[in-house]
């Protein structure tokens, strides 16, 4: 038994273990404690109910994260965040595996054992460079599918390298390709950007022997394994029949499944692209930002010096970059305010980039080693110093990105949603507009069972029959059932729904709806960050309901939390703007002290509003 344990310990690569453990330690240290903004609340609700998230559904990510929800500690969201941290950490292992494999036959020193260990240290340096990059770190500390697809992409790339190695030796092992195609099909269930890597994978096969394309039997088998992996999408119609809590697109029929999978529910309008927009779209893939200028130089060094030895691997990487750019930038032509979403799609390319950064590290180390004379008395010390220089890159990236990605006190989204829900009257219909304003509410109500008496109605989805079906109590006999919804804009359907609900219950809208849709046919009464609607009779605006503010949790609003992503910053600004709006209304009503107090709160939450606050006070001769 002890001998077997010794053999296992001997086979364990401590550097490979470190490539997972070190990133995971930092990811857990900076992990978000609960729901966050963007797609978080929606993913969490889908995972909780084993339902369907927004198109294309993400069945693999949902089923991958589900087992983590049985951990015996933390809330539901925290456990799912751990799942993402683990997937990001094993993606870093993918970098280590690829970098070391590409360096395996390279000689660094005359001593084989020393050379092997030094190459493993370099591969670990590449893995940690990727681990602490801004993009992966931000995706690691809350629920995101991109680290998972990056790990799968790395494994497919590695399997194809193994196949190439054996093929050159005359030892064909097609099961490497079959396993790779299975993982490729499976990866579609994490995100559809997997399809953008298929040309790179195919190139790694065909570039070794183009005659393989004539092997019909093996191609059929490969496609069969890909379809087997793709069958994870059966989760969507199977679960849709059970009508889970979140059933986006209701993909129980083939028509609805294809509508869902092909993302037919998204707007298709493209902006007029000028040079400025094109450059902004291209800048969504930004190596210097992720790996610093030094990392960019190392990447170029690795590509240049290894091109002759690893031409096919480098061309596969460059082909992937080209395909991503042609599709994401060229075809999608993203709107300026949505470019930040496309930045996340490039994570698998950053993983491959980190691999070649590692090859650049190897060239630098080898150059330094070869410059040291064999009789130099401090040769070992210089070698050690060189390795420290390699470690400087991931350490620098870690130090630069730590504060920006530390979410361990980020309760902004949780409090934003709970503040909205807790202060609503019994049986309210709350209409939301933006995803970040709606999804945390979905999580709190659907998963943590807060205020289940409230109907959360997402206005942009009111034009879809499947969405109305998910609220049978609200819309079973609604007049919307008799309207050709496809002929109406969401804001028009929203007004029809509001009119209908006002007849029977309290109706509220969130801040985003207030400032996205014209609602001049209703009276509005501000209640914190929400607004109560009423039939228009006299004044358009009623005095604000000040009682809700004292019920609000305001963690992180006073500047004591460093983390700021786009929607977290917007949420904080919404609080400040709501205080400012209330202050302006109170001053207009002659309630001077209360109005000034609200304006000072706005300044404290968002100092950038000081100019606007000063303008309001000047307008009342109070400055």
Question: 454-485 pLDDT, tens per residue?
Answer: 999 999 888 888 889 889 889 888 888 888 88
The whole-angstrom separation of Cα 327 and Cα 192 is 12
Token couple for 146: 């991109």
- Domain co-membership, 418 together with 383: no
pLDDT classification of 559: cutoffs 50, 70, 90:
low
- Domain co-membership, 206 together with 250: yes
What is residue 151's three-state secondary structure? helix
Best-predicted range by mean pLDDT among 87-96, 168-177, 241-250, 605-614? 87-96
pLDDT classification of 317: cutoffs 50, 70, 90:
very high
Per-residue pLDDT at 395 exceeds 50: yes
- Domain co-membership, 135 together with 251: yes
pLDDT classification of 538: cutoffs 50, 70, 90:
low
Q: Which stretch of DSSP H or E encloses residue 550?
A: none
Residue 418 Cα to chain centre, angstroms:
23
Token couple for 579: 């205080």
What is the percent of the chain where pLDDT is above 70? 95
pTM over 0.85: yes
Contact predicate 421/444, CB 8 Å: yes
Per-residue pLDDT at 1 exceeds 70: no
Q: For position 223, what pLDDT does the model report? A: 93
Q: For position 265, what pLDDT does the model report? A: 75
Contact predicate 187/145, CB 8 Å: no
Q: For position 517, what pLDDT does the model report? A: 85
- What is the arithmetic mean of pLDDT over 138-167? 94
Closest among 456, 480, 40, 469 to 252, alpha carbons compared: 469
More confident residue, 82 or 209: 82
Kindly report, residue by residue over 283-312, the tens digit of the pLDDT: 889 999 999 999 999 999 999 999 999 999
Kindly report, residue by residue over 98-108, the tens digit of the pLDDT: 999 999 888 87
Per-residue pLDDT at 11 exceeds 80: no
Could you say which of 390, 405, 420 is where a domain stops? Answer: 405
Cβ-proximal residues to 354 (8 Å cutoff; 6+ apart), any chain: 95, 99, 126, 127, 129, 130, 133, 291
DSSP state letter for 543: P
- The greatest distance separating any two alpha carbons of the chain, rounded to the nearest whole angstrom, comes to 95
Q: Cα-Cα-Cα-Cα dihedral of 443, 448, 454, 456, to 10°?
A: 10
Per-residue pLDDT at 560 exceeds 70: no
- Domain co-membership, 399 together with 421: no
The whole-angstrom separation of Cα 100 and Cα 437 is 44
Q: Total structural domains in the chain?
A: 2
Range of the domain at 250: 2-405
Q: Cα-Cα-Cα-Cα dihedral of 68, 70, 73, 74, to 10°?
A: 60
Q: For position 5, what pLDDT does the model report? A: 46
- Domain co-membership, 352 together with 425: no
What is the percent of the chain where pLDDT is above 90? 51
Per-residue pLDDT at 535 exceeds 50: yes
Residue 441 Cα to chain centre, angstroms:
19
- Domain co-membership, 79 together with 202: yes
- Domain co-membership, 307 together with 255: yes
E strands, 406-521, where?
429-432, 455-458, 507-510
């Amino acid at each position: 038994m002890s001998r077997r344990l010794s053999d296992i310990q001997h086979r364990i690569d401590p550097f490979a273990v470190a490539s997972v453990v070190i990133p995971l330690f930092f990811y857990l240290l900076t992990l978000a404690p609960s729901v966050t903004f963007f797609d978080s609340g929606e993913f969490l609700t889908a995972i909780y109910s084993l339902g369907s998230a927004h198109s294309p559904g993400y069945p693999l990510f949902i089923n991958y994260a589900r087992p983590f929800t049985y951990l015996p500690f933390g809330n539901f969201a925290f456990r799912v965040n751990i799942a993402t941290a683990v997937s990001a950490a094993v993606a870093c292992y993918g970098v280590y595996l690829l970098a070391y494999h590409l360096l395996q036959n390279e000689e660094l020193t005359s001593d084989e054992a020393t050379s092997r260990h030094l190459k493993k240290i370099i591969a670990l340096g590449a893995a940690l460079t990727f681990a602490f990059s801004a993009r992966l770190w931000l995706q690691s500390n809350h629920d995101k599918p991109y680290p998972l697809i990056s790990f799968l992409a790395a494994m497919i790339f590695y399997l194809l390298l193994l196949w190439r190695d054996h093929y050159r030796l005359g030892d064909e092992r097609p099961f490497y390709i079959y396993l790779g195609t299975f993982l490729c099909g499976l990866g579609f269930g994490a995100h559809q950007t997997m399809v953008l890597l298929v040309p790179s994978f195919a190139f790694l096969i065909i570039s070794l022997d183009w005659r393989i394309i004539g092997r019909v039997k093996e191609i059929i088998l490969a496609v069969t394994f890909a379809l087997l992996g793709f069958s994870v999408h059966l989760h969507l119609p199977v679960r849709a029949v059970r009508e889970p809590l979140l059933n986006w697109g209701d993909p129980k029929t083939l028509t609805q499944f294809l509508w869902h999978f092909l993302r037919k529910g998204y707007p298709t309008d493209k902006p007029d692209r000028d040079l400025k927009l094109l450059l902004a779209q291209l800048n969504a893939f930004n190596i210097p930002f992720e790996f610093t200028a030094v990392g960019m130089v190392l990447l170029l060094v690795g590509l240049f010096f290894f091109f002759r030895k690893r031409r096919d691997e480098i061309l596969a990487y460059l082909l992937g970059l080209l395909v991503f750019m042609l599709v994401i930038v060229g075809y999608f032509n993203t709107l300026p305010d949505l470019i930040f979403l496309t930045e996340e799609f490039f994570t698998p390319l950053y993983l491959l980039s980190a691999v070649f950064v590692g090859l650049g590290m190897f060239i630098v180390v080898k150059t330094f080693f070869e410059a040291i004379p064999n009789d130099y008395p401090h040769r070992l010390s210089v070698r050690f110093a060189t390795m420290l220089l390699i470690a400087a890159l991931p350490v620098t990236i870690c130090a630069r990105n730590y504060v920006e990605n530390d979410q361990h006190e980020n309760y902004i989204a949780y409090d934003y949603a709970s503040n909205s829900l807790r202060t609503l009257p019994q049986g309210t219909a709350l209409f939301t507009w933006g995803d970040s304003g709606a999804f945390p509410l979905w999580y709190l109500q659907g998963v943590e069972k807060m205020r289940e008496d409230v109907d959360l109605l997402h206005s942009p989805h009111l034009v879809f029959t499947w969405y109305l079906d998910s609220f049978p109590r609200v819309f079973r006999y609604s007049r919307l059932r008799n309207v050709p919804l496809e002929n109406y804009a969401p804001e028009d359907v929203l007004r029809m729904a509001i009119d209908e609900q006002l007849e029977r219950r309290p109706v509220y809208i969130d801040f985003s709806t207030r400032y996205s849709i014209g609602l001049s046919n209703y009276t509005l009464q501000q209640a914190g960050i929400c607004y109560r609607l009423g039939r228009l009779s006299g004044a358009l605006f009623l005095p604000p309901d000040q009682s809700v503010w004292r019920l609000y949790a305001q963690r992180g609003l006073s500047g004591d939390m460093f983390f700021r992503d786009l929607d977290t910053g917007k949420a904080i600004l919404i609080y400040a703007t709501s205080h400012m709006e209330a202050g302006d209304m109170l001053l207009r009503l002659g309630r001077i002290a209360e109005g000034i107090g609200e304006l000072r709160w706005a300044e404290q939450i968002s100092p950038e509003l000081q100019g606007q606050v000063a303008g309001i006070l000047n307008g009342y001769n109070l400055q």
